[in-house]
Structures are given as C-alpha cells and as structure tokens.
Amino acid sequence: MHIIQSRHGLVAHLLSLRKQGENVTIGFVPTMGALHSGHASLIDESVRENTITVCSIFVNPTQFGDKSDLEKYPKPIEKDIEILIKHKCDILFLPEFEDVYSAEYVHQKFELGELESKIEGASRPGHFQGVCNVVSQLFEIVSPDCAYFGQKDYQQTAIIKSLIQLTRSDVTLKIVPITREPSGLAMSSRNIRLSDKGRKNAAFIYKALRDIQTDAESRSLLELVDRAKQFISSQKGVDLDYLLAVDAETLNEATSIKESGSIIILVALTYEGVRLIDNIFLN
C-alpha cells in the first residue's frame, strides 16, 4: 500500500495510474480513521468493484461543533494501516490540514436546504456544511469513479447525494449496509470510548429498532415509535436525542407505513457520555 501525504503527490500518482489504461476505476473511501469492521466492509466493497482503492484518513476540524469531541477523537494510525493493508487498500491518503484546505481555500456554503438543519443537523449545527466542505475537497483531489459511505450515517449519505447533485459531480455514491458488533451495536469509532459493560449494554439500541421492525405490520407507527422511545429512555445513563420514523428519500417525518414509500427509523442518543447513532429500514 502506498501512503501519500501531499495533495499534489496523490493527484500526480492517480493521474499516472489512470494513464495506464482505460479500464482503471478508482474507488474512494473517505474516513476519519479509528477504523473498524464497518470501514473494512467499505474498503472490501471498493476493492471488489474497482481496480484502485483509495482510503483517506483525515479528522476534519470543520465538521466538529464540539471542540472537545474533536480533541477526544481517537487516532490509532498504526492499527489503521494494518487494517488497510489486510483489506488490500491500494493507497492511503494521509493529508495535513493544508493538503486538504489550501491557504486560499474559502469555506463554502452549500445550498442543502432543510436537510442540513433537521434531525442530526439540529443537534450538530454546521456539521453537514463541514462534511460537504471536506468531501468536496477530497472528491476534487481523488476524482473517484465511486465513493463509499456507510448507511449508519444515513443523513450524511442523503447530504452527499445532494452535494454530488449541487456540484454536478459524476461520482457514483455507494451506500454500504451497517456492520454490527455481535450484540447488535452498530460499529462506530466512538464505541471504544464506552466501558466494556456499556458496550455490551448498548445492544438496547438495536433491540429497540428491531422491535419496531418486528411489529411494523401489526401496530401503528406512532405507537411503535413511542414504545421504543420509552424503552430507550428507561435505560440507565441514556440521554435520548431523537428517535424518528422518516421517509427514506426526503427524511420528512412519516406517520404511517402505508402512506409512505420506504421508511427508515433514525435514532441518536448519548450513553456513557458517547454520542451513538443507528438506523433500520422498515420496508
């Protein structure tokens, strides 16, 4: 695996690879490091579908409202490199701040509409603008054919879809299903901040989602959402931020399964001081 730090170094390297043949396709997996099996599944998918896979590790300061969250973000780079080599990633892009945001770079404001300020955006103002700024820069540098994002950050995937349209980019967005720990807890770089006991207990999040899915045919959506909220809030040490049934396309709140298209349940909460998110499709 090549490890490239500079923006110009990566652009030149990818250009020379593209010149090698018309069949070269570049798959791109943008990450903030602290890689786990969820990231590995994105890498695997990209390796399967492309001739070259590029992974970036860059903890993007512009998407963190809470600076202590940024400071606490884990950076186990040696372990990350091992994982990438094991999963046959071809290139790791490991930029410094200046490689992503040049001195002349002006923070952009993308017209994301209400998508950026609701649900996760309501709890993390400015977060999705930060994500769009970094992803648009990374897309410019890597110029990938396909970019791989995890379903766990569902609203982020909707934001990236908008970004691709707004920038008239020809990148194909690939959304990869959630990878779960044996307990059902969605894999996340933040999970390592939970205690061992907390990590096992946090299985209640997936249980709440599964229970909604199981009873979706026999009970009303509002009743099921309410029951799940009560179940989660009754767990010790939990601060529930939101649990919502939304239309999977528009992310507008859904009240009934029959009236809507595809419905997804989105949940976010703080447990042992760690923000955790998850989701499940109902249909």
Residues 6-35 that bind ligand PAF (CB under 6 A): 30-32
Nearer to ligand PAF, 232 or 268 (CB): 268
Structure tokens at 216: 């979706």
Q: Which residues contact 21 (CB under 8 A, 6 or more apart)?
A: none
Map residue 103 onto helix, strand or coil: coil
Map residue 27 onto helix, strand or coil: strand
Map residue 168 onto helix, strand or coil: coil
Q: Which amino acid is residue 106, in one-letter code?
A: V
* Distance of alpha carbon 162 from alpha carbon 136, whole angstroms: 11
Q: Closest approach of Cβ 148 to ligand PAF, in Å? A: 10
- Catalytic residue status for 13: no
Nearer to ligand PAF, 63 or 129 (CB): 63
* Distance of alpha carbon 239 from alpha carbon 11, whole angstroms: 44
Q: Closest approach of Cβ 151 to ligand PAF, in Å? A: 11
Give the residues across from 28 on adjacent strands: 54, 147
* Nearest of 139, 122, 146, 151 to residue 41 by alpha carbon: 151
Nearer to ligand PAF, 58 or 206 (CB): 58
Site map for ligand PAF, 196-225, x if CB under 6 A? Answer: ------------------------------
Distances (CA, A) of 208 to 102, 161, 231: 45, 28, 7
Q: Identify whether the C-beta of residue 78 lies closer than 8 Å to the C-beta of residue 53.
A: no
Q: Closest approach of Cβ 63 to ligand PAF, in Å? A: 6
Structure tokens at 79: 């372990």
- Give the count of residues interacting with ligand PAF (CB under 6 A): 10
Question: Given candidates 50, 53, 60, 155, which one binds ligand PAF under the rule CB under 6 A?
Answer: 60
* Distance of alpha carbon 17 from alpha carbon 199, whole angstroms: 43
Tell me if 151 contacts ligand PAF by CB under 6 A: no
Q: Closest approach of Cβ 257 to ligand PAF, in Å? A: 29
Residues 127-146 that bind ligand PAF (CB under 6 A): 131, 134-135
Site map for ligand PAF, 154-183, x if CB under 6 A? Answer: --x---------------------------
* Catalytic entry in 13, 39, 87, 127: 39
Q: Closest approach of Cβ 220 to ligand PAF, in Å? A: 34
Map residue 179 onto helix, strand or coil: coil
User: How far does CA 197 lie from the centroid of its chain?
Assistant: 25
- Return the active site residues: 39
Interface ranges with ligand PAF (CB under 6 A): 30-32, 60, 63, 131, 134-135, 153, 156
